[in-house]
Amino acid sequence: MGLSKMPCTLGVFDIPIIQMQPSFVVDLLDANIAVFGSSMSGKTTTLKTLINILHKHYDASQEQVFILDFDGALFEYQELPLVSAYFDNSNEEYVKRVFKIMDNILKDNIKELNGKNYRDAQNQPPHTTFIIDNLNAFIDESRYMAYQEKLAKLCRDGLSKGITVVVTAGETKGIASYLSAFKQKIAFEMQSDKYLDIFTGRVGMIANNPGHGFANVTVKPEGITGTFRMNLPYEVQCTLPYRQEGAPGAADTEAGFFQKLKEKFKYEGGTYARCVRKYLTFPKELTQDDFERLKQHPKEGAKGHKMPVSVGLDYVDFYPVTVDMKQARLIAIYGKKEFGKTNLLNLLIEGIARQGADTRLVLFDDGRNQLEGIYQTYKETLDCTIINRFDEVTLTLTDGTQKPRKLSPLQQFYVYLNENCVSLDKANYLADIYGVSKVSAKEYMAIPDCSTAPAPFTVFVIQSKLVYLSANENKRFINSILPGLLSVAEERGYLFIFSDVQKISDGEQNTFFNNMASVAFLLDNIAEFAGERGQKTIFGNMDTKSLKEDYARCEKGDGYFYDIEADNLLKLKFIKH
Protein backbone atom coordinates (compact mmCIF):
# COMPACT_ATOMS: atom_id res chain seq x y z
CA MET A 1 0.00 0.00 0.00
CA GLY A 2 1.47 3.35 -1.03
CA LEU A 3 1.56 6.61 0.88
CA SER A 4 -1.46 8.85 0.25
CA LYS A 5 -0.29 11.49 2.77
CA MET A 6 2.92 12.44 4.56
CA PRO A 7 1.72 14.64 7.44
CA CYS A 8 4.38 16.29 9.60
CA THR A 9 3.47 18.31 12.70
CA LEU A 10 5.80 21.29 12.94
CA GLY A 11 4.14 23.33 15.69
CA VAL A 12 0.91 24.96 16.87
CA PHE A 13 -1.39 27.51 15.20
CA ASP A 14 -3.21 30.32 16.97
CA ILE A 15 -6.53 30.83 15.14
CA PRO A 16 -8.56 33.42 17.08
CA ILE A 17 -11.73 33.09 14.98
CA ILE A 18 -12.29 29.55 16.28
CA GLN A 19 -10.61 30.26 19.63
CA MET A 20 -8.37 27.22 19.26
CA GLN A 21 -4.71 26.38 18.89
CA PRO A 22 -4.68 23.37 16.56
CA SER A 23 -1.54 21.57 15.42
CA PHE A 24 0.40 23.08 12.52
CA VAL A 25 0.57 20.18 10.06
CA VAL A 26 2.12 20.10 6.60
CA ASP A 27 1.64 17.30 4.07
CA LEU A 28 4.80 16.69 2.03
CA LEU A 29 2.77 15.04 -0.73
CA ASP A 30 0.60 18.14 -1.04
CA ALA A 31 2.97 21.12 -0.73
CA ASN A 32 6.47 22.39 -1.28
CA ILE A 33 7.57 24.42 1.74
CA ALA A 34 9.27 27.84 1.90
CA VAL A 35 10.53 29.08 5.28
CA PHE A 36 11.40 32.78 5.59
CA GLY A 37 12.90 34.80 8.39
CA SER A 38 15.78 36.97 9.51
CA SER A 39 18.96 35.58 10.96
CA MET A 40 18.45 33.45 14.11
CA SER A 41 14.65 33.53 13.73
CA GLY A 42 14.21 29.74 13.56
CA LYS A 43 14.46 28.76 9.88
CA THR A 44 17.16 26.09 10.19
CA THR A 45 15.69 24.85 13.47
CA THR A 46 12.43 24.18 11.60
CA LEU A 47 14.36 22.17 9.00
CA LYS A 48 15.91 20.10 11.78
CA THR A 49 12.48 19.44 13.26
CA LEU A 50 11.21 18.31 9.86
CA ILE A 51 14.18 15.98 9.31
CA ASN A 52 13.71 14.47 12.76
CA ILE A 53 10.00 13.83 12.09
CA LEU A 54 10.81 12.08 8.83
CA HIS A 55 13.20 9.78 10.69
CA LYS A 56 10.59 9.01 13.34
CA HIS A 57 7.77 8.12 10.95
CA TYR A 58 9.44 6.66 7.85
CA ASP A 59 12.13 4.18 6.88
CA ALA A 60 14.67 3.83 4.07
CA SER A 61 12.15 2.20 1.73
CA GLN A 62 9.80 5.19 2.05
CA GLU A 63 11.92 8.35 2.33
CA GLN A 64 15.26 9.86 1.30
CA VAL A 65 16.54 13.36 2.09
CA PHE A 66 18.94 15.47 0.03
CA ILE A 67 20.44 18.60 1.60
CA LEU A 68 22.10 21.52 -0.22
CA ASP A 69 23.46 23.62 2.63
CA PHE A 70 24.72 27.15 1.97
CA ASP A 71 25.14 28.04 5.65
CA GLY A 72 26.71 24.89 7.06
CA ALA A 73 24.11 24.68 9.83
CA LEU A 74 22.92 21.18 8.81
CA PHE A 75 26.37 19.60 8.66
CA GLU A 76 25.67 17.44 11.73
CA TYR A 77 22.75 15.79 9.89
CA GLN A 78 24.76 14.35 7.01
CA GLU A 79 25.27 10.96 8.69
CA LEU A 80 21.61 10.37 9.54
CA PRO A 81 20.22 7.19 7.96
CA LEU A 82 17.64 8.86 5.69
CA VAL A 83 19.99 11.63 4.51
CA SER A 84 21.15 10.37 1.15
CA ALA A 85 23.41 13.33 0.41
CA TYR A 86 24.66 16.42 2.17
CA PHE A 87 26.32 18.94 -0.14
CA ASP A 88 27.65 22.35 0.81
CA ASN A 89 28.66 25.08 -1.63
CA SER A 90 32.42 24.66 -1.22
CA ASN A 91 32.58 23.02 -4.64
CA GLU A 92 30.36 23.97 -7.58
CA GLU A 93 30.44 20.35 -8.72
CA TYR A 94 28.31 19.42 -5.70
CA VAL A 95 25.62 21.92 -6.72
CA LYS A 96 25.60 20.61 -10.28
CA ARG A 97 25.67 17.06 -9.00
CA VAL A 98 22.65 17.38 -6.69
CA PHE A 99 20.52 18.82 -9.52
CA LYS A 100 21.66 16.04 -11.81
CA ILE A 101 20.64 13.51 -9.15
CA MET A 102 17.26 15.22 -8.70
CA ASP A 103 16.70 15.23 -12.45
CA ASN A 104 17.47 11.50 -12.63
CA ILE A 105 15.13 10.77 -9.72
CA LEU A 106 12.35 12.75 -11.39
CA LYS A 107 12.81 10.88 -14.68
CA ASP A 108 12.91 7.50 -12.91
CA ASN A 109 9.81 8.32 -10.86
CA ILE A 110 7.84 9.45 -13.93
CA LYS A 111 8.67 6.16 -15.60
CA GLU A 112 7.87 4.05 -12.54
CA LEU A 113 4.61 5.83 -11.74
CA ASN A 114 3.44 5.31 -15.32
CA GLY A 115 1.32 8.45 -15.60
CA LYS A 116 -0.13 8.40 -12.07
CA ASN A 117 0.36 10.96 -9.35
CA TYR A 118 2.62 9.77 -6.56
CA ARG A 119 -0.07 9.71 -3.87
CA ASP A 120 -2.43 7.69 -6.10
CA ALA A 121 0.04 4.95 -7.03
CA GLN A 122 0.10 1.59 -5.30
CA ASN A 123 3.76 0.91 -6.08
CA GLN A 124 5.79 3.98 -5.17
CA PRO A 125 9.50 4.71 -5.30
CA PRO A 126 10.87 6.25 -2.09
CA HIS A 127 9.67 9.81 -1.52
CA THR A 128 12.39 12.46 -1.87
CA THR A 129 12.69 15.59 0.25
CA PHE A 130 15.09 18.11 -1.30
CA ILE A 131 16.20 20.81 1.17
CA ILE A 132 18.02 24.02 0.24
CA ASP A 133 19.10 26.00 3.29
CA ASN A 134 19.57 29.68 2.28
CA LEU A 135 18.00 29.95 -1.15
CA ASN A 136 19.15 33.59 -1.38
CA ALA A 137 22.80 32.49 -1.47
CA PHE A 138 21.98 30.09 -4.29
CA ILE A 139 20.17 32.76 -6.33
CA ASP A 140 22.72 35.52 -5.71
CA GLU A 141 25.72 33.44 -6.82
CA SER A 142 26.23 34.10 -10.54
CA ARG A 143 27.95 30.75 -11.14
CA TYR A 144 24.71 28.97 -10.16
CA MET A 145 22.48 30.75 -12.68
CA ALA A 146 22.50 27.68 -14.92
CA TYR A 147 20.79 25.66 -12.18
CA GLN A 148 17.99 28.11 -11.36
CA GLU A 149 15.77 26.86 -14.19
CA LYS A 150 16.43 23.30 -13.02
CA LEU A 151 15.17 24.26 -9.57
CA ALA A 152 12.09 25.95 -11.03
CA LYS A 153 11.30 22.82 -13.05
CA LEU A 154 11.73 20.64 -9.97
CA CYS A 155 9.38 22.88 -7.97
CA ARG A 156 6.74 22.71 -10.74
CA ASP A 157 6.93 19.05 -11.68
CA GLY A 158 8.41 17.25 -8.69
CA LEU A 159 5.59 17.29 -6.16
CA SER A 160 3.19 15.10 -8.14
CA LYS A 161 6.02 12.65 -8.80
CA GLY A 162 7.23 12.18 -5.24
CA ILE A 163 9.76 15.02 -4.80
CA THR A 164 9.06 17.77 -2.25
CA VAL A 165 11.23 20.91 -2.25
CA VAL A 166 11.86 22.67 1.07
CA VAL A 167 13.79 25.95 1.14
CA THR A 168 14.75 28.67 3.60
CA ALA A 169 15.36 32.31 2.73
CA GLY A 170 16.25 35.46 4.60
CA GLU A 171 14.40 37.76 2.22
CA THR A 172 12.05 37.65 -0.74
CA LYS A 173 14.32 39.41 -3.26
CA GLY A 174 14.76 37.27 -6.38
CA ILE A 175 12.37 34.58 -5.12
CA ALA A 176 9.04 35.87 -6.47
CA SER A 177 9.18 33.63 -9.54
CA TYR A 178 9.42 30.55 -7.29
CA LEU A 179 6.73 31.43 -4.74
CA SER A 180 3.77 30.16 -6.74
CA ALA A 181 5.27 26.66 -6.56
CA PHE A 182 5.36 26.74 -2.74
CA LYS A 183 1.89 26.12 -1.41
CA GLN A 184 3.09 26.05 2.20
CA LYS A 185 4.79 29.24 3.44
CA ILE A 186 6.19 29.99 6.87
CA ALA A 187 7.52 33.42 7.83
CA PHE A 188 9.28 34.16 11.10
CA GLU A 189 10.42 37.59 12.29
CA MET A 190 11.37 39.89 9.40
CA GLN A 191 10.57 43.35 7.97
CA SER A 192 6.81 43.96 7.81
CA ASP A 193 6.70 44.71 4.07
CA LYS A 194 8.19 41.27 3.33
CA TYR A 195 5.12 39.50 4.72
CA LEU A 196 3.04 41.09 1.95
CA ASP A 197 5.36 39.58 -0.67
CA ILE A 198 5.03 36.15 0.91
CA PHE A 199 1.33 35.92 1.73
CA THR A 200 -0.13 38.55 -0.66
CA GLY A 201 -2.06 39.86 2.31
CA ARG A 202 -1.49 41.80 5.50
CA VAL A 203 -0.49 40.12 8.74
CA GLY A 204 0.31 41.50 12.16
CA MET A 205 3.73 42.06 13.65
CA ILE A 206 5.82 39.41 15.36
CA ALA A 207 8.27 40.17 18.14
CA ASN A 208 11.79 38.80 18.02
CA ASN A 209 10.84 35.38 19.34
CA PRO A 210 12.62 32.53 17.48
CA GLY A 211 10.22 30.00 15.98
CA HIS A 212 7.27 32.37 16.28
CA GLY A 213 5.78 33.70 13.04
CA PHE A 214 3.04 33.18 10.48
CA ALA A 215 2.04 30.25 8.29
CA ASN A 216 -0.84 29.61 5.93
CA VAL A 217 -3.11 26.64 6.62
CA THR A 218 -2.78 23.94 3.95
CA VAL A 219 -3.98 20.93 5.97
CA LYS A 220 -7.31 21.30 7.77
CA PRO A 221 -6.75 20.69 11.49
CA GLU A 222 -8.51 17.71 13.00
CA GLY A 223 -11.39 18.20 15.42
CA ILE A 224 -12.25 21.72 14.31
CA THR A 225 -15.95 22.46 14.69
CA GLY A 226 -15.92 26.11 13.73
CA THR A 227 -15.16 27.48 10.30
CA PHE A 228 -12.30 29.67 9.14
CA ARG A 229 -10.73 30.55 5.82
CA MET A 230 -8.14 28.00 4.69
CA ASN A 231 -4.85 29.06 3.17
CA LEU A 232 -4.76 32.37 5.03
CA PRO A 233 -1.78 33.07 7.29
CA TYR A 234 -2.20 32.65 11.03
CA GLU A 235 0.22 32.97 13.88
CA VAL A 236 2.27 29.85 14.47
CA GLN A 237 4.79 28.63 17.00
CA CYS A 238 7.10 25.97 15.56
CA THR A 239 8.48 23.33 17.87
CA LEU A 240 12.13 22.65 18.61
CA PRO A 241 13.70 19.44 17.24
CA TYR A 242 14.46 18.24 20.79
CA ARG A 243 13.15 18.75 24.30
CA GLN A 244 15.70 20.26 26.68
CA GLU A 245 17.04 17.91 29.37
CA GLY A 246 14.85 18.18 32.47
CA ALA A 247 12.07 20.08 30.72
CA PRO A 248 8.55 18.60 30.78
CA GLY A 249 6.84 17.27 27.64
CA ALA A 250 6.45 14.20 25.47
CA ALA A 251 9.11 15.12 22.91
CA ASP A 252 12.45 13.35 22.91
CA THR A 253 15.61 14.86 24.27
CA GLU A 254 18.51 14.89 21.80
CA ALA A 255 20.07 11.85 23.48
CA GLY A 256 16.73 10.06 23.51
CA PHE A 257 16.09 10.81 19.83
CA PHE A 258 19.44 9.42 18.72
CA GLN A 259 19.05 6.35 20.89
CA LYS A 260 15.72 5.55 19.21
CA LEU A 261 17.30 6.28 15.86
CA LYS A 262 20.06 3.73 16.50
CA GLU A 263 17.52 1.11 17.48
CA LYS A 264 15.22 1.74 14.51
CA PHE A 265 17.93 1.86 11.86
CA LYS A 266 20.27 -0.77 13.42
CA TYR A 267 23.35 1.26 14.32
CA GLU A 268 26.35 -1.07 14.34
CA GLY A 269 30.07 -0.44 14.07
CA GLY A 270 29.70 3.30 13.58
CA THR A 271 27.15 3.09 10.74
CA TYR A 272 23.41 2.55 10.26
CA ALA A 273 22.68 -0.84 8.72
CA ARG A 274 19.22 0.25 7.51
CA CYS A 275 19.88 3.41 5.54
CA VAL A 276 19.38 4.95 2.13
CA ARG A 277 22.03 5.00 -0.55
CA LYS A 278 24.73 7.48 0.46
CA TYR A 279 26.27 9.95 -1.99
CA LEU A 280 29.82 10.74 -0.89
CA THR A 281 31.70 14.04 -0.87
CA PHE A 282 35.39 14.86 -1.02
CA PRO A 283 37.50 16.58 1.60
CA LYS A 284 39.28 19.73 0.43
CA GLU A 285 42.37 17.64 -0.35
CA LEU A 286 42.18 13.92 -1.12
CA THR A 287 44.96 12.26 0.83
CA GLN A 288 46.00 8.66 0.30
CA ASP A 289 44.15 7.71 3.48
CA ASP A 290 41.01 9.49 2.24
CA PHE A 291 41.35 7.66 -1.09
CA GLU A 292 41.39 4.29 0.65
CA ARG A 293 38.48 5.27 2.90
CA LEU A 294 36.21 6.68 0.18
CA LYS A 295 36.91 4.49 -2.83
CA GLN A 296 34.08 2.31 -4.10
CA HIS A 297 34.53 -0.90 -6.02
CA PRO A 298 32.96 -1.29 -9.49
CA LYS A 299 30.64 -4.27 -9.83
CA GLU A 300 32.49 -5.58 -12.87
CA GLY A 301 35.71 -5.82 -10.87
CA ALA A 302 39.28 -5.27 -12.02
CA LYS A 303 40.20 -5.26 -15.69
CA GLY A 304 43.33 -7.36 -15.26
CA HIS A 305 45.75 -4.47 -15.50
CA LYS A 306 49.42 -5.38 -15.75
CA MET A 307 50.64 -2.28 -13.90
CA PRO A 308 47.65 -0.36 -12.47
CA VAL A 309 48.26 3.08 -10.99
CA SER A 310 45.32 4.90 -9.37
CA VAL A 311 45.52 8.69 -9.32
CA GLY A 312 42.19 9.68 -7.77
CA LEU A 313 38.44 9.07 -7.55
CA ASP A 314 35.78 10.01 -10.07
CA TYR A 315 33.16 12.52 -8.92
CA VAL A 316 30.06 10.42 -9.64
CA ASP A 317 30.64 6.92 -8.27
CA PHE A 318 33.89 7.43 -6.35
CA TYR A 319 35.49 4.63 -8.32
CA PRO A 320 39.30 4.71 -8.54
CA VAL A 321 40.59 6.31 -11.74
CA THR A 322 43.27 3.88 -12.80
CA VAL A 323 45.76 3.76 -15.65
CA ASP A 324 47.50 0.58 -16.79
CA MET A 325 50.99 1.96 -17.27
CA LYS A 326 52.12 -1.01 -19.38
CA GLN A 327 49.23 -0.60 -21.81
CA ALA A 328 48.89 3.18 -22.00
CA ARG A 329 51.87 3.79 -24.36
CA LEU A 330 51.39 7.58 -24.53
CA ILE A 331 49.92 9.72 -21.74
CA ALA A 332 49.33 13.42 -22.42
CA ILE A 333 48.93 15.85 -19.50
CA TYR A 334 47.41 19.29 -20.16
CA GLY A 335 46.67 22.02 -17.66
CA LYS A 336 47.17 25.36 -16.03
CA LYS A 337 50.31 26.33 -14.21
CA GLU A 338 50.12 25.55 -10.47
CA PHE A 339 47.02 23.41 -11.01
CA GLY A 340 48.50 20.02 -10.12
CA LYS A 341 50.38 18.65 -13.14
CA THR A 342 53.54 17.97 -11.09
CA ASN A 343 51.45 16.29 -8.39
CA LEU A 344 49.88 14.01 -11.03
CA LEU A 345 53.27 13.16 -12.52
CA ASN A 346 54.57 12.25 -9.08
CA LEU A 347 51.57 9.95 -8.54
CA LEU A 348 52.23 8.16 -11.84
CA ILE A 349 55.97 7.72 -11.27
CA GLU A 350 55.55 6.65 -7.66
CA GLY A 351 52.93 4.11 -8.71
CA ILE A 352 55.32 2.65 -11.27
CA ALA A 353 58.27 2.59 -8.88
CA ARG A 354 56.19 0.87 -6.22
CA GLN A 355 55.44 -2.04 -8.55
CA GLY A 356 58.63 -2.50 -10.53
CA ALA A 357 62.21 -1.91 -9.40
CA ASP A 358 63.29 -3.16 -12.84
CA THR A 359 62.27 0.13 -14.45
CA ARG A 360 64.26 2.65 -16.41
CA LEU A 361 63.31 6.30 -16.07
CA VAL A 362 64.37 8.77 -18.77
CA LEU A 363 63.62 12.40 -17.93
CA PHE A 364 63.79 14.92 -20.79
CA ASP A 365 63.55 18.42 -19.35
CA ASP A 366 64.33 21.89 -20.59
CA GLY A 367 65.89 24.91 -18.89
CA ARG A 368 63.06 25.02 -16.31
CA ASN A 369 64.52 21.92 -14.60
CA GLN A 370 61.11 20.84 -13.33
CA LEU A 371 62.03 17.15 -13.34
CA GLU A 372 65.08 17.53 -11.12
CA GLY A 373 63.08 16.62 -8.00
CA ILE A 374 61.91 13.33 -9.54
CA TYR A 375 65.47 12.52 -10.59
CA GLN A 376 66.79 13.12 -7.07
CA THR A 377 64.01 10.97 -5.60
CA TYR A 378 64.53 7.91 -7.80
CA LYS A 379 68.18 8.02 -8.91
CA GLU A 380 69.19 5.53 -6.20
CA THR A 381 66.34 3.05 -6.69
CA LEU A 382 65.72 3.09 -10.46
CA ASP A 383 67.89 3.19 -13.57
CA CYS A 384 67.45 6.93 -13.91
CA THR A 385 68.71 9.36 -16.57
CA ILE A 386 68.02 13.09 -16.81
CA ILE A 387 68.63 15.27 -19.86
CA ASN A 388 68.04 18.89 -18.95
CA ARG A 389 70.81 21.23 -20.13
CA PHE A 390 73.47 21.89 -22.77
CA ASP A 391 76.34 19.56 -22.05
CA GLU A 392 79.79 18.52 -23.27
CA VAL A 393 79.47 14.94 -24.54
CA THR A 394 82.04 12.59 -26.03
CA LEU A 395 80.48 10.55 -28.83
CA THR A 396 82.22 7.39 -30.07
CA LEU A 397 81.91 6.21 -33.67
CA THR A 398 82.05 2.53 -34.65
CA ASP A 399 85.64 2.95 -35.92
CA GLY A 400 86.73 4.12 -32.47
CA THR A 401 86.86 7.80 -33.30
CA GLN A 402 85.79 9.98 -30.39
CA LYS A 403 83.95 13.18 -31.10
CA PRO A 404 83.73 15.74 -28.27
CA ARG A 405 80.52 17.71 -28.85
CA LYS A 406 78.49 20.32 -27.02
CA LEU A 407 74.90 19.24 -27.50
CA SER A 408 71.52 20.76 -26.72
CA PRO A 409 69.08 18.76 -24.57
CA LEU A 410 67.12 17.79 -27.73
CA GLN A 411 70.28 16.56 -29.47
CA GLN A 412 71.27 14.55 -26.40
CA PHE A 413 67.81 13.04 -26.36
CA TYR A 414 68.13 11.94 -29.99
CA VAL A 415 71.50 10.34 -29.22
CA TYR A 416 69.97 8.48 -26.26
CA LEU A 417 67.10 7.17 -28.37
CA ASN A 418 69.46 6.05 -31.14
CA GLU A 419 71.76 4.21 -28.75
CA ASN A 420 69.08 2.59 -26.57
CA CYS A 421 65.72 2.40 -28.31
CA VAL A 422 65.54 2.63 -32.09
CA SER A 423 68.08 3.37 -34.84
CA LEU A 424 67.51 6.86 -36.23
CA ASP A 425 68.21 8.15 -39.72
CA LYS A 426 71.96 8.78 -39.66
CA ALA A 427 72.14 11.16 -42.62
CA ASN A 428 69.09 13.30 -41.77
CA TYR A 429 69.08 13.25 -37.96
CA LEU A 430 72.43 12.29 -36.55
CA ALA A 431 75.19 13.50 -38.90
CA ASP A 432 75.01 17.08 -37.63
CA ILE A 433 74.84 15.91 -34.02
CA TYR A 434 77.95 13.70 -34.40
CA GLY A 435 79.74 16.33 -36.49
CA VAL A 436 80.23 14.13 -39.56
CA SER A 437 79.40 14.71 -43.20
CA LYS A 438 75.81 13.95 -44.13
CA VAL A 439 76.83 13.43 -47.77
CA SER A 440 79.60 10.94 -47.05
CA ALA A 441 78.09 7.52 -46.40
CA LYS A 442 81.44 6.29 -45.03
CA GLU A 443 81.33 8.96 -42.32
CA TYR A 444 77.70 8.91 -41.27
CA MET A 445 77.52 5.12 -41.41
CA ALA A 446 80.15 5.09 -38.66
CA ILE A 447 77.50 6.42 -36.30
CA PRO A 448 76.57 3.51 -33.99
CA ASP A 449 73.25 1.69 -34.29
CA CYS A 450 70.79 1.00 -31.50
CA SER A 451 71.85 -1.56 -28.89
CA THR A 452 70.00 -4.87 -29.17
CA ALA A 453 70.50 -5.78 -25.49
CA PRO A 454 67.28 -6.48 -23.54
CA ALA A 455 66.08 -3.39 -21.66
CA PRO A 456 63.80 -2.95 -18.65
CA PHE A 457 60.40 -1.29 -18.83
CA THR A 458 61.32 2.26 -19.86
CA VAL A 459 59.31 5.35 -18.93
CA PHE A 460 60.09 8.54 -20.86
CA VAL A 461 58.92 11.75 -19.22
CA ILE A 462 58.85 14.58 -21.76
CA GLN A 463 58.72 17.93 -19.96
CA SER A 464 60.53 19.94 -22.62
CA LYS A 465 58.85 22.63 -24.72
CA LEU A 466 61.33 21.87 -27.51
CA VAL A 467 59.38 18.93 -28.95
CA TYR A 468 56.34 21.14 -29.67
CA LEU A 469 58.20 23.71 -31.79
CA SER A 470 57.67 23.68 -35.54
CA ALA A 471 61.34 23.93 -36.58
CA ASN A 472 62.45 20.83 -38.52
CA GLU A 473 64.84 19.53 -35.86
CA ASN A 474 62.17 19.87 -33.18
CA LYS A 475 59.15 18.43 -34.94
CA ARG A 476 61.10 15.38 -36.09
CA PHE A 477 60.44 13.78 -32.74
CA ILE A 478 56.63 13.86 -32.93
CA ASN A 479 56.30 13.49 -36.71
CA SER A 480 58.90 10.79 -37.39
CA ILE A 481 60.62 9.31 -34.35
CA LEU A 482 57.70 8.90 -31.94
CA PRO A 483 55.52 6.84 -34.34
CA GLY A 484 58.37 4.35 -34.72
CA LEU A 485 58.86 4.14 -30.98
CA LEU A 486 55.17 3.58 -30.34
CA SER A 487 55.00 0.82 -32.96
CA VAL A 488 57.37 -1.25 -30.80
CA ALA A 489 56.27 0.16 -27.42
CA GLU A 490 54.28 -2.90 -26.34
CA GLU A 491 56.95 -5.33 -27.52
CA ARG A 492 59.88 -3.51 -25.90
CA GLY A 493 58.11 -1.97 -22.91
CA TYR A 494 58.04 1.78 -23.59
CA LEU A 495 55.78 4.38 -21.99
CA PHE A 496 55.82 8.07 -22.94
CA ILE A 497 54.43 10.65 -20.53
CA PHE A 498 54.14 14.15 -21.96
CA SER A 499 53.86 15.89 -18.61
CA ASP A 500 53.11 19.45 -19.78
CA VAL A 501 51.70 19.47 -23.31
CA GLN A 502 52.14 22.83 -25.00
CA LYS A 503 50.34 24.38 -27.95
CA ILE A 504 51.40 22.79 -31.26
CA SER A 505 51.10 25.31 -34.08
CA ASP A 506 52.14 23.02 -36.94
CA GLY A 507 49.00 21.30 -38.26
CA GLU A 508 50.64 18.05 -39.32
CA GLN A 509 52.61 17.80 -36.08
CA ASN A 510 49.44 18.44 -34.09
CA THR A 511 47.52 15.72 -35.95
CA PHE A 512 50.30 13.19 -35.40
CA PHE A 513 50.36 13.86 -31.67
CA ASN A 514 46.57 13.73 -31.21
CA ASN A 515 46.34 10.44 -33.11
CA MET A 516 49.09 8.77 -31.07
CA ALA A 517 47.90 9.57 -27.52
CA SER A 518 45.90 6.85 -25.78
CA VAL A 519 45.27 8.55 -22.41
CA ALA A 520 44.95 12.25 -21.58
CA PHE A 521 44.61 14.22 -18.37
CA LEU A 522 43.39 17.81 -18.18
CA LEU A 523 43.86 19.97 -15.09
CA ASP A 524 41.71 22.91 -16.14
CA ASN A 525 38.06 23.80 -16.75
CA ILE A 526 37.24 21.55 -19.68
CA ALA A 527 34.53 23.64 -21.38
CA GLU A 528 36.75 26.73 -21.47
CA PHE A 529 39.79 24.72 -22.50
CA ALA A 530 38.01 22.89 -25.32
CA GLY A 531 36.39 26.07 -26.59
CA GLU A 532 39.41 28.37 -26.40
CA ARG A 533 42.92 27.25 -25.53
CA GLY A 534 42.54 23.62 -26.52
CA GLN A 535 40.80 23.77 -29.89
CA LYS A 536 43.59 21.82 -31.64
CA THR A 537 44.16 19.41 -28.79
CA ILE A 538 42.66 16.00 -28.09
CA PHE A 539 39.75 17.81 -26.38
CA GLY A 540 39.15 20.24 -29.25
CA ASN A 541 36.37 18.27 -30.97
CA MET A 542 34.23 18.01 -27.83
CA ASP A 543 30.94 19.94 -27.72
CA THR A 544 31.50 22.99 -25.52
CA LYS A 545 27.80 23.44 -24.72
CA SER A 546 27.45 19.86 -23.50
CA LEU A 547 30.62 20.17 -21.43
CA LYS A 548 29.26 23.28 -19.69
CA GLU A 549 26.03 21.47 -18.89
CA ASP A 550 27.72 18.31 -17.65
CA TYR A 551 30.68 19.65 -15.67
CA ALA A 552 31.16 22.48 -13.19
CA ARG A 553 34.32 24.54 -12.89
CA CYS A 554 37.33 22.80 -11.39
CA GLU A 555 38.54 23.40 -7.89
CA LYS A 556 42.24 22.96 -7.18
CA GLY A 557 42.92 19.23 -7.11
CA ASP A 558 40.22 18.49 -9.72
CA GLY A 559 40.75 17.45 -13.30
CA TYR A 560 39.69 15.12 -16.09
CA PHE A 561 40.74 11.69 -17.25
CA TYR A 562 40.09 10.86 -20.90
CA ASP A 563 40.49 7.29 -22.12
CA ILE A 564 40.81 8.19 -25.78
CA GLU A 565 40.50 4.67 -27.17
CA ALA A 566 37.32 4.01 -25.16
CA ASP A 567 36.09 7.63 -25.62
CA ASN A 568 35.42 7.79 -21.88
CA LEU A 569 35.68 11.14 -20.05
CA LEU A 570 35.63 11.33 -16.25
CA LYS A 571 35.96 14.20 -13.83
CA LEU A 572 38.02 13.28 -10.81
CA LYS A 573 39.62 14.47 -7.61
CA PHE A 574 43.35 13.71 -7.65
CA ILE A 575 45.15 12.22 -4.68
CA LYS A 576 47.35 14.82 -2.99
CA HIS A 577 50.87 13.41 -3.26
Separation in Å, CA 99 to CA 129, 227, 344 = 13, 42, 30
* Nearest alpha carbon to residue 100 among 151, 168, 164: 151
* Nearest alpha carbon to residue 524 among 511, 538, 513: 538
Q: Can you spell out the DSSP letters for 33-49?
A: EEEE-STTSSHHHHHHH
Separation in Å, CA 91 to CA 94, 152, 324, 550 = 6, 22, 30, 15
Contacts of 431 (CB under 8 A, 6+ apart): 437, 438, 443, 444, 447
Determine the Cα–Cα distance for residues 285 and 577; give it in Å rounded to an integer.
Answer: 10
Tell me which of 346 and 400 has the higher pLDDT: 346
Residue 183 CB burial class (10 angstroms; 0-12, 13-18, ≥19): middle
CA 360 to chain centre: 34
Q: What is the pLDDT of residues 514-525, one digit of tens each?
A: 999 999 999 999
Average pLDDT over residues 497-513: 91
The helix or strand, by DSSP H or E, that contains position 261, with its residue range, turns out to be helix 254-264
The answer to whether the beta carbons of residues 118 and 162 sit under 8 Å apart is yes
Tell me which of 221 and 264 has the higher pLDDT: 264
pLDDT category at 35 given cuts 50, 70, 90 is very high
pLDDT category at 225 given cuts 50, 70, 90 is low
- Whole-number pLDDT of residue 247: 61
Write down all domains in the chain, each with its CATH number in brackets: 7-272 (3.40.50.300), 289-574 (3.40.50.300)
One-letter amino acid at 174 equals G
Gap between the terminal Cα atoms of the chain: 53
- Whether the predicted pLDDT of 392 surpasses 80: yes
pLDDT category at 224 given cuts 50, 70, 90 is confident
- Whole-number pLDDT of residue 63: 97
Q: What is the pLDDT of residues 410-421, one digit of tens each?
A: 999 999 999 999
Q: What is the DSSP letter of 481?
A: I
